Chains A and B, each alone.
Chain A
């Protein structure tokens, strides 16, 4: 393996200091003279027709400078990708509690609230759909848009995978399993609630500071709904306080609202959500109901998998078609089967709305399939790791989709690594024996268990769309180096990754390099910042840009040293020629300037072509896969259902580690988020009203809930990745919940097939319905 100077070596995160010192300026920290404060009138009912909307009384409120509705946008502000079904402000109908109807800009937040409350808005309530199971009933109220194709209007999409006839195999199989699993919505819980700031420009355009994931999508949306040419719209990315998939649509919508208000009033306009507004209004991870059939031979060979999933997209499509697609591709897990069918159906309801969230469909299906696989291991009487090793995808295997895996398949190594690190065999035997010994449970019994889950996760967009990224690099007059990417760093560490790659290729110290935050005026569009694609796509683009610039400097160095290119060697930053006298990098740069060479370069990388046949349910869904295995050790209080995760081990095949602290940070953070998903994070919609409107009711893990995590990386390089790298951000959390659930089963002998595994589910085997009311939402939307 080549020896690198910076790749894979410890490095300081480029934004560490500003975060630690508190000098990073988030939107809520930004103020401009004369800046107005914006706030939305939001629906307090889950489904209604807008009968009357009169904003003139709001304009009469002292301090109010502007009020907008859907009439203020081109085509009422219709937007959305891949499905265009949402408006920047509600048009004709509202479909969920919290949906924005009008937006007010005023001198103070108090005046903005008074303005919102002065708007006359008459809503005629419509019956709603609150149970995804009944969304497609013939007599279900219409939530989704009209479907000219004859489909039910509440039908959003159906994604399939097809190989053979799994039910026929299942019927004949000596060992079979049929089970149902459910997951509820999950809140991203980013530490920074939504906020945007728009500044009108003298030329009639607008600059929007928005902590979005994909500034160019925001840019395109803004130009469209504001009916402005692209050159009059600029989107700048400030520091982002976390996203996890959550700062797409909701930020684009808020951006359009403040941008229009800024254009109307001629003043800067800022909108910042309260935590309550964030929880009520923002999209969540989708809820899913899953039904699995598995068949195996007595020797433990998996034969068939049928997977039916129903996905609740809530009131709008957002990214649910893509989520459902990724779910369908991964639903059967990282195993070989003779036959496999997957059907994931996404539907509209009035339960808030759902969109992207770390793992993006795989987190949901992995919870189900990795439990089902565990249950199957028990049925055939095999150790869960042995069972997975027997059936898991290996180099040269063909996936059920029809893709031959020709490189970078480290799953078996991951399984063996967590087995060793966790002391699996000893603990497994010890806890299993104890379990048999005291099969009469006493209320004061604390039992231990250990469980495993395996993972594969397709890298980048796959067949979701065109997969490319751009990067630029330039040497400034002071010999510092500016780099840009169209991909954003919302906490993922990608700015540091790009810095290290540029440093490696140019042979300069990372301290020379300044990685700008994306600005649509200076960076080049690079597709969305999603799907854990930054390192591979943006990293490759940066590598190409730096290689291009390096070539220019090499020419200059050879000219300066009077030698051939191949005679150049590097000593630190310095160039050394046949005379063996080192020439400082700065002199080479100065010489390049004298030669009239351009000291900037561009890099674009496009992923290898792949294909997916949506009708046949077959093809090559992703260019490569991340593989992983995680092991959880738990203590379960048999008297109360309390679960403590007391140990955690994770081995991930990320191809090649570029930035170690960043990779481990993603791993630990992802596992903490997965632990919350497994045990405590619970969103309850009661007749469309979310009950958890702040962090006193929506619980995420604290430092004392997360055990010490032992992580290790398996590097099975991918030839198209930069230095062999694949990804880590999303896969880190995906197998965590099933590993914990499998450990709970090992401890208790009882399966928890619904998330989260809260006190009630672990103790009683089912959740208790507390009921609920619209009260928390109604209070939360009026916080002064």
Chain B
């Protein structure tokens, strides 16, 4: 077993102090579902883990005006069981319920999922659809940036040494907007996403889309909304032809970003189906 020290932080201030302590390389430990897997094969790139999983400030889920705030150490289970998130962030709740199995969901956290930044991370498509902001804090102060800027590539983020992802915030989606998340794995549980996709959408009184958000997972190196596709649909009646075209356009956008890789032949077809399907489910009654 790799050898390293462990300490549990009781507050964000204490965690930041421990993370910044000189002479040691400290890393935050939330659920451990990524770090423990990593150090099974690789030398631990730290001397000490600072356990932030029980810091009360990191466990909040609350509404502040028109904004929702979710702490970095909130587990998938806690998110999925939150009445607030079930009401305003159904696609995030659905995504949380597809992660691993119950044991993983009880341990793994949203903050950990985002900081680990795997391209297939299941929370990224819904958080992206929700226009999530990431809030970071260190002894030097606080920083806030959009999720899409925070994640710089697969397993790469803008987080700095000594910095902690304290919470996420996102605006409450408009009333009546529907949310859907679909995950495609090689089995029905404990599976890494082969492809995933989240969508939020609403129709106006005339049956035209007046709010559309679409973001795929495990499709591109960094999460982003498919604004090209959203633009096709905004103000339009979501006919079969339009939804099929939206699926095709989703695949085109993905390939424009990634180029053709070994998996493109499959994902090109599958993302069309999934994009069309989620858009149909949020926009067609």
* Interface residue ranges, A against B (CB under 8 Å): 443-444, 637-642, 644, 680, 696, 699, 701-705, 758-760, 763-764, 768-771, 779-780, 783-784
Write out the residue numbers on chain B whose beta carbons fall within 8 Å of the beta carbon of A444.
273, 276-277, 280
Size category of the B interface is 20 to 34
Contact (A443, B186) CB under 8 Å given A759-B194, A768-B265, A768-B266 = no
Q: Are A763 and B184 in contact (CB under 8 A)?
A: no
List the 8 closest A-B pairs by CB distance, nearest first: A639-B273, A443-B273, A779-B41, A704-B188, A702-B189, A640-B270, A760-B266, A704-B189
- In the complex, are the beta carbons of A764 and B265 less than 8 A apart? yes
- Separation of A180 and B230 alpha carbons in the complex (Å): 46
Q: Tell whether, in the assembled complex, residue A771 and residue B262 are in contact, meaning their CB atoms are under 8 Å apart.
A: yes
A784's contact among B2, B192, B263, B276, by CB below 8 Å, is which? B2
Q: Using A640-B273, A680-B186, A702-B189 as known contacts, list a sample of 17 further A-B pairs with CB atoms less than 8 Å apart, ordered by residue number in A.
A: A443-B269, A444-B273, A444-B276, A444-B280, A639-B269, A639-B274, A639-B276, A639-B277, A640-B184, A640-B195, A640-B270, A641-B270, A701-B187, A704-B188, A763-B269, A768-B262, A770-B263
Q: Please judge, given known A-B contacts A444-B280, A705-B189, whether A759 and B270 are in contact too, CB under 8 Å.
A: yes
CA distance A639 to B280 in the complex (A): 14
Bound together, the chains give a CA A510 to CA B138 distance in angstroms of 68
Q: From residue B4, how far is it (CB to closest CB) to chain A in Å?
A: 13
Contact residues in B for A783 (Cβ distance below 8 Å): 40-41
Question: How many pairs of residues, A versus B, come closer than 8 Å at their CB atoms?
Answer: 78
For chain B residues 175-200, which have a beta carbon within 8 Å of chain A?
A: 184, 186-192, 194-195
- Please name all residues of chain B whose beta carbon is closer than 8 Å to the beta carbon of A703 when the two chains form the complex: 189
Residue of chain B at shortest CB distance from A782: B41
Q: How far is the CA of A514 from the CA of B126 in the complex (A)?
A: 58
**Which A residues are CB-close (under 8 A) to B41?**
779-780, 783
Query: Chain A nearest CB: distance from B152 CB in Å?
Result: 24
Residues of A within 8 A of B277 (CB): 443-444, 639
The CA-CA distance from A701 to B190 in the complex, in Å, is: 10
Q: A443-B247, A768-B263 are in contact. Are A702 and B270 (CB under 8 A)?
A: no
Task: Report how far A779 CA is from B39 CA in the complex, Å.
Answer: 11
B102 to chain A, nearest CB (A): 11
Cβ contacts A to B, 9 pairs, < 8 Å: A444-B273, A637-B273, A639-B272, A640-B273, A680-B186, A702-B190, A763-B270, A770-B263, A779-B42
**B1 on the A face (CB < 8 A):** yes
| Pair A696/B192 contact, Cβ less than 8 Å | yes
A639 to B101, alpha carbons, bound, how many Å?
A: 25
Q: Which residues of B contact A644 (CB under 8 A)?
A: 188
CB contacts (< 8 Å) of B274 on chain A: these are 639-640
A763 x B266 contact (CB < 8 A):
yes
Interface residues of B in 266-285 (CB under 8 A from A): 266, 269-270, 272-274, 276-277, 280
| Residue ID in chain A nearest B182 by CB atoms | A640
Report the minimum CB–CB distance from A692 to chain B (whole Å): 12
What residues of A have a CB within 8 angstroms of the CB of B42 in the complex? 779
The interface residues of chain B lying within 8 Å CB-to-CB of A696 are 37, 192
Q: Which of B1, B262, B266, B276 is the one whose CB lies under 8 Å from A443? A: B276
What's the dominant secondary structure at chain A's contact region? Answer: loop
Bound complex: CA A757 to CA B269 (Å)? 17
A69 to B190 CA separation, bound complex (whole angstroms)? 41
A759-B194, A768-B262, A783-B41 known; A699+B272 contact, CB < 8 A: no
How far apart are the CA atoms of A758 and B191 in the complex, in Å?
Answer: 13
Chain B residues, CB < 8 A from A640: 184, 195, 269-270, 273-274
In the assembled complex, the CB of B11 is this many whole angstroms from the nearest CB of chain A, namely 34
| Cα distance, A701 to B188, chains bound together (Å) | 8
Task: Check A759/B186 contact, CB under 8 A, given A443-B276, A699-B191.
Answer: yes
Give every chain A residue within 8 A of B247 (Cβ-Cβ). 443
Residue of B nearest to A442 (CB): B244
- B43's closest neighbor in chain A, by CB? A784
- Distance in Å from the Cβ of B44 to the closest Cβ of chain A? 11
C-alpha gap A680/B280 in the complex (Å)? 29
Residues of chain A contacted by B2 (CB below 8 angstroms): 784
| B269–A642 touching, CB < 8 Å | no
Residues of A within 8 A of B272 (CB): 443, 639
Q: 1/0 per residue B13-35: CB within 8 Å of A?
A: 00000000000000000000000
Question: Chain A residues near B270 (CB, 8 Å)?
Answer: 639-641, 759, 763
- A642 touching B1, Cβ below 8 Å: no
A702 to B100, CA, bound (A): 11
Query: How far does the alpha carbon of A771 sit from the alpha carbon of B194 in the complex, in Å?
Result: 16
A705 to B192, CA, bound (A): 15
Closest Cβ neighbor of B188 among chain A residues: A704
- Interface positions, chain B 65-88, Cβ under 8 Å from A, are none
CA distance A642 to B270 in the complex (A): 10
With both beta carbons as reference points, the residue of chain A lying nearest to B272 in the complex is identified as: A443
Q: Which residues of B contact A443 (CB under 8 A)?
A: 244, 247, 269, 272-273, 276-277
Q: Please, which residues of chain A bring their CB within 8 A of the CB of B184? A: 640, 642, 759
* Contact partners of A642 in chain B: CB under 8 A: 184
On chain A, the residues within 8 Å of B192 by CB distance are 696
A108 to B225, CA, bound (A): 52
Residue of chain A at shortest CB distance from B37: A696
Q: How far is the CB of A417 from chain B (nearest CB, A)?
A: 29
A634 to B74, CA, bound (A): 37
CA distance A704 to B100 in the complex (A): 12
Given contacts A699-B186, A780-B41, contact A759 B262 (CB under 8 A): no
When distances are taken between beta carbons in the complex, the residues of chain A under 8 Å from B265 are 760, 764, 768
Contacts of B195 in A (CB 8 A): 640
Q: Write out the residue numbers on chain B whose beta carbons fall within 8 Å of the beta carbon of A639.
A: 269-270, 272-274, 276-277
Q: Which of A640, A705, A768, A783 has the most CB of B within 10 A?
A: A640
| Contact status A699-B262, CB under 8 Å | no
- B187 & A680 in contact (Cβ 8 Å cutoff): yes
- A702 and B101: CB pair below 8 A? yes
Task: Give the CA-CA distance A784 to B4 in the complex, in Å.
Answer: 14
Q: Once the chains are docked, how many angstroms separate the CA of A680 from the CA of B192?
A: 13
CB-nearest residue of chain A relative to B243?
Answer: A444
Asked whether B262 lies within 8 Å of A770 as measured between CB atoms, the reply is yes
CA distance A219 to B260 in the complex (A): 56
Which chain B residues border A760 with CB–CB below 8 Å? Answer: 265-266
Q: When the two chains form the complex, which single residue of B187, B194, B273 contacts A705, counting CB atoms closer than 8 Å?
A: B187
Cβ contact within 8 Å between B188 and A702: yes
A702 and B269 contact, Cβ closer than 8 Å, known pairs A444-B280, A639-B274, A639-B277: no
Nearest neighbor of B40 in chain A, beta-carbon distance: A783
Interface hub of B40, B41, B191, B192 (most chain A Cβ within 10 A): B41
Task: Write out the residue numbers on chain A whose beta carbons fall within 8 Å of the beta carbon of B266.
Answer: 641, 759-760, 763-764, 768
Contacts of B190 in A (CB 8 A): 702
Q: What residues of B have a CB within 8 angstroms of the CB of A702 in the complex?
A: 101, 187-190
Which residue of A is nearest B194, CB measured? A759
> Given the complex of chains A and B, what is the CA–CA distance between A637 and B182 in angstroms?
13
Question: How close is A706's CB to chain B, nearest CB, in angstroms?
Answer: 10
Q: Do A705 and B276 form a contact, CB below 8 Å, given A763-B266, A768-B265, A770-B262?
A: no
Most B Cβ at <10 Å: residue of A443, A760, A768: A443
Nearest chain-B residue to A783 (Cβ)?
B40
How far, in Å, is A784 (CB) from chain B's closest CB? 6
Supposing A443-B273, A779-B42 touch, asked if A758 and B186 sit within 8 A by C-beta, the answer is yes
> Taking each of B1, B40, B101, B266, which has the highest tally of chain A beta carbons within 10 Å of its own beta carbon?
B266
A764 vs B262: C-alpha distance in the bound complex, in angstroms? 13
Once A639-B269, A764-B269, A769-B262 are accepted as A-B contacts, the answer to whether A699 and B276 lie under 8 Å apart by CB is no
- The distance in angstroms between the C-alpha atoms of A784 and B43, with both chains bound, is 10
| Structural contact, B273 and A784, CB atoms closer than 8 A | no
- Residues from chain A with a CB closer than 8 A to the CB of B188 are 644, 702, 704-705
Note all chain A residues with C-beta closer than 8 A to B186. 680, 699, 758-759
A784 touches B187 (CB 8 A): no
Measured in the bound complex, the distance between the Cα atoms of B273 and A704 in whole Å is: 23
A731 to B265, CA, bound (A): 37
